[in-house]
Amino acid sequence: MSKKLINKARGLSDKAIAWIFITPTVLLLLAINIYPLFYAISMSFTNFYANKIGKEIKWVGLKNYIKVLGKESVWERMQITANFMFWTLLIQALIGLGLALLLNKKFKGNELLTTLIVLPMMLSPAVVGTFWTYLYNPQVGVFSYIMNFFYNFGPIDMIGSSVLAPWSIVIVDTWMWTPFTMLICLAGLRSIPDYLYEAAEVDRASRWQQFIYITLPSVLPFLLLALLFRGIENFKMFDMVVELTSGGPGSATELASIQLKREAFEKWKTGYSSAYAVILFVTIFGFGNVYVKVMNKIKDR
Amino acid sequence: MEYYMKNKFIILISSLVFALFSSTSAKSESITLGWAAWDPANALVELSKGFTAETGIDVNFEFVPWPNFADRMLNELNNQGKTFDLLIGDSQWIGGGAVYGHYVKLNDFFDQEGISMDDFSDATVYAYSTWPKGTPNYYALPAMGDALAWAYRKDWFDRPELQSEFQAKHGYDLGVPKSWDELYDMCTFFQGREIDGQVRYGAAINTERGSEGITMGVTAAMYAWGMQYENPDKPYEMEGYFNAPHVVEAVEFYKKMYEDCTPPGHSDAYMGANLDAYKSETVAFQMNWYAFWPGVSKEDADGRVTGFFANPCQETCAATLGGQGLSVVSYSDKKDLALEYMKWFAKPDVQAKWWSLGGYSCHKDVLGASDFVDSAVYAQGFLDSMGIVKDFWQEPTFVELMLPMQEHIHDYVVNGKGTAKAALDNIIEEWVEVFEADGKL
């Protein structure tokens, strides 16, 4: 029997064998990714409420989409999300690249330091959010203590102030995820062949010129890749912010994903929130595609 | 030898199968009860041992922390889950429980078992059991009476130097505040004051954003200012009622309390954070549910440190309702066992034990007992409060009504965005949308 099977398999083309191998994965993907996506898209055209059992589901056309896009609060949350993404990506790119450049030098304790720096990203975001609420506590938190060490600001209420709360989530995300950017940049830096620098030395290029013309172009594709991952992650950021600020004060740190969760699983407006989710998906998918194209162009250069 | 070994193996397997089956059959005589993870839940575990001893039915518990309680339980109900046979659900869930068929209607069962709702305090029956409100359609048995109240540092209040300083400043005695104005005076009196070498603050009040915290806090003021959600003669007409000038004043007052009386960083605080602020001797007052007073009181055996009082009056006397009813989940496969538990729980002697263990019974035999008022320092306050309680909307859409309230009140009180009037107007606007979608408007 098994011999027969082996003989049969031998007769199959490479393409057929490849299909046999990937079919289970494709089926699984269809079942857990593609089907729910199309189901959500179909629900987004209805007035479906998951908690109203027995209520007639009506086709409402584009009404949900018009409602989502016409809502001021949705645009506010998009703005909050964009703000969060811009500052986290910018700061993480700068610090991550800086740390990678420092750690790329050979010195004693290099490995240990690298391990210590990457520790935060190994923690669960919910845990990070929770313990930073204690670190930010204006009375006993270490954050307030450190800030007051340099200048007497008094108690600093990072989570309760509408001005500081958006920065509080940027700081925590930066603390947690800069090591990720750093690691990828470090991989990029270590892939630059030494002979490029040796040739530059021969040509009497200054350190700055070496950085601009060799290091930066070589590491840029890696940095952009890290930022792509971070961008996608932060666009759907939820757990850390919920634990840290619950989206408050008011709605100062309510990111689009938090608002979506509240619409979908607290208000149970399934049709409306499906439309919202589709809009978010198209947004990140569109941005992602454009970004990848730009990244590939840079890489080709 | 081989035959002997084979036999031994068969005996071993048989015993294992028998043991497995017998344990399964023992497990089938059990029910699961869901509630919030807080002090009274521990008392219920203790109390339910009596049920198991009496009937042989085990009671399993799943207690969910308050911030996730509604999410977890409502998700379970909406998915028609069978995890819970009994649920001690929040008072606001009764509308959804009844309308969406999550809870078993109990009228026939009550009639059959001779359980009379007249035996339970009227306010609690109205709040925890009936839907539509006030009609004799029962979906829960009043299980845990509760209301928002206050605890204060009696030992600080008793200090002669503080008393005379307060008297000189405000012209009346430092004691239990009779109004929100007096409460504010006392809170600000303690704000930033150094006592025994440590800086203290006024009050730990509800400011939580994520679930229901700030709503449960601000309504304590709004009710005291005489707020009504809607026109009593025209249901769901909220304009001019919910955003009336005296309600605006109440919300502004609550913001003033937040700004002038709370400790730094008290911007996302609810039950646990208020208890922590009080236990760490940071604040003179804490706002919290009666459910926590047995625990607070236990740590103060001689009653020297802490005093308790009902929500102060202002334009009128009122208190925010807490508490829950015990319901049978209609998707349960063990409804008969769950009803048996309910029958047992409704017994007057069990209700008396419930109170003695730290649960708040709603049974008139317990509340009306001659020694009830003296049985705990907060007992009189509890009785007073339960007579004046008011609750948030109990509509099936209550979560949709709660979310805008949380957002706009937090935005105004903590975030300092806009005005109180604008916050209330925004809430009404979103509530109208909810009621329209629900066909009520």
pLDDT in tens, B114-129: 999 999 999 899 999 9
Of A13 and B161, more confident: B161
Segment A221-235 shows an average pLDDT of 94
- pLDDT tens digits, residue range B386-410? 989 999 998 988 889 999 999 999 9
Tokens of A28: 């699984």
**In the structure encoding, which two tokens stand for residue B350, read together?**
């069990």
**Complete DSSP assignment for B207-219:** ---SSSHHHHHHH
Domain annotation covers residue A41:
no
**pLDDT at B3 > cutoff 50:** no
Q: Kindly report the CA angle at A280 between A275 and A286, in degrees rounded to 5?
A: 125
pLDDT average, residue stretch A3-30: 85
Within a domain: A256: yes
Angle at B376 between CA B371 and CA B377, to 5 degrees: 120
CA distance B157 to B308: 12
Please report, rounded to a whole number, the percentage of residues in chain A having pLDDT higher than 90: 80
A250: tokens are: 């008011």
Q: What is the mean pLDDT of residues A151-166?
A: 91
> Which of B80, B209, B399 is facing A267, going by the closest CB pair?
B399
The residues near A148 (Cβ < 8 Å, ≥ 6 apart) are A154, A156
**Interchain CB distance below 8 Å, B411 and A249:** yes
- CA B274, CA B286: separation in Å to the nearest integer? 6
Per-residue pLDDT, averaged over B178-205, amounts to: 97
Contact B414 A249 (CB under 8 A): yes
Query: What is the pLDDT at residue B6?
Result: 52
**Whether residue B81 has pLDDT greater than 50:** yes
Out of A9-18, A202-211, B176-185, B325-334, pick the least confident. A9-18
pLDDT bin (cut points 50, 70, 90) of residue B11 is low
Q: Suggest the residue from A139, A162, A244 to mutate for an interface test with chain B (most B CBs closer than 10 A).
A: A139
The mean pLDDT value for A182-187 works out to 95
Domain hosting residue A194, numbered range:
71-300
- Using an 8 Å Cβ cutoff, are B310 and B385 in contact? yes
> Does B15 score more than 60 pLDDT?
no
pLDDT digits 0-9 by tens, B252-282:
999 999 999 999 999 999 999 999 999 999 9
Question: Cα–Cα distance between B86 and B104 in angstroms, integer?
Answer: 10
Q: Given this model, what pLDDT does residue B301 score?
A: 84
C-alpha torsion sign, points B125, B128, B129, B135 = positive
Q: Average pLDDT, whole number, for chain B?
A: 92
Asked whether the beta carbons of residue B209 and residue A155 sit closer than 8 angstroms, the reply is no
What are A's interface residues with B at a Cβ cutoff of 8 A? 50-53, 133, 136-139, 141, 155, 157, 159-162, 242, 245-252, 254, 262, 265-269
Element (H, E) at B87: strand B86-90
Q: How far is CA A188 from CA A115, A154, B143, in A?
A: 18, 43, 64
The answer to whether residue A194 scores a pLDDT higher than 60 is yes
pLDDT score of A273: 96
Give the CA dihedral B105, B106, B109, B110, nearest 10 degrees.
-160
Q: Above 60 in pLDDT, residue A53?
A: yes
Name all domains of chain B by residue range, CATH numbers in brackets: 30-146+322-386 (3.40.190.10), 148-320+397-437 (3.40.190.10)
pLDDT tens digit sequence for B289-319: 999 999 999 889 888 999 999 999 999 999 9
Q: Which CATH number is A106's domain given?
A: 1.10.3720.10
Distance from C-alpha of B287 to C-alpha of B191, rounded to nearest angstrom: 16
Whether B71 and A266 lie within 8 Å, measured CB to CB: yes
Of A50, A159, A162, the CB nearest to B416: A162
Which residue in chain A is spatially nearest to B79 when comparing CA positions?
A51
Max Cα distance, chain A (Å): 82
DSSP B403: H
Predicted local distance difference test score (pLDDT) of residue B26:
44
User: DSSP characters for A62-100?
Assistant: THHHHHHHH-HHHHHHHHHHHHHHHHHHHHHHHHHHHHH
pLDDT in tens, A234-263: 999 999 999 999 998 999 999 999 999 999
- Please compute the mean of the pLDDT values over residues B413-421 and round it to a whole number: 95
Dihedral over Cα of A240, A246, A251, A252: its sign: negative
Q: Closest Cα to residue B34, out of B120, B103, B96? A: B103
What local confidence, expressed as pLDDT, does residue A139 receive?
Answer: 87
Average pLDDT value for residue range B151-170: 97
Inter-chain touch A250–B410, beta carbons under 8 Å: yes
How many Cβ pairs closer than 8 A exist between chain A and B?
Answer: 90
- Which tokens in the block code for residue A198? 């040796």
ipTM of the complex as predicted: 0.81
- Residues A49-64 have a mean pLDDT of 88
Q: Does position B167 have pLDDT exceeding 70, yes or no?
A: yes
Query: Residue B134's pLDDT is what?
Result: 87
Nearest to B268 among A50, A138, A248 (CB): A248
pLDDT band at A98 (very low <50, low <70, confident <90, very high): very high
Q: Do A249 and B265 touch (CB under 8 A)?
A: no
User: CA–CA separation, A213 vs A200, rounded Å?
Assistant: 9
Terminal Cα-to-Cα distance of chain A (whole angstroms): 55
pLDDT of amino acid B27: 47
Chain B contact set for A266 (CB, 8 A): 70-71, 399-400, 403
pLDDT for A2 equals 64
> What pLDDT shows up at residue B22?
47
Q: How far from A297 is each of A165, A224, A292, CA to CA, in Å? A: 37, 12, 9
Percentage, residues of chain B above pLDDT 90: 84
Contact A159 B265 (CB under 8 A): yes
- Are the Cβ atoms of A246 and B268 closer than 8 angstroms? yes
Q: Which of A51, A136, A238, A258 to mutate to test the interface with B (most CBs of B within 10 A)?
A: A51
Q: How many domains does chain A have?
A: 1
Q: Of all residues in chain B, what percent carry a pLDDT higher than 70?
A: 94
Residue A11 placed within a domain: no
> Strand, helix or coil at B159?
coil
Nearest to A267 among B267, B268, B403 (CB): B403
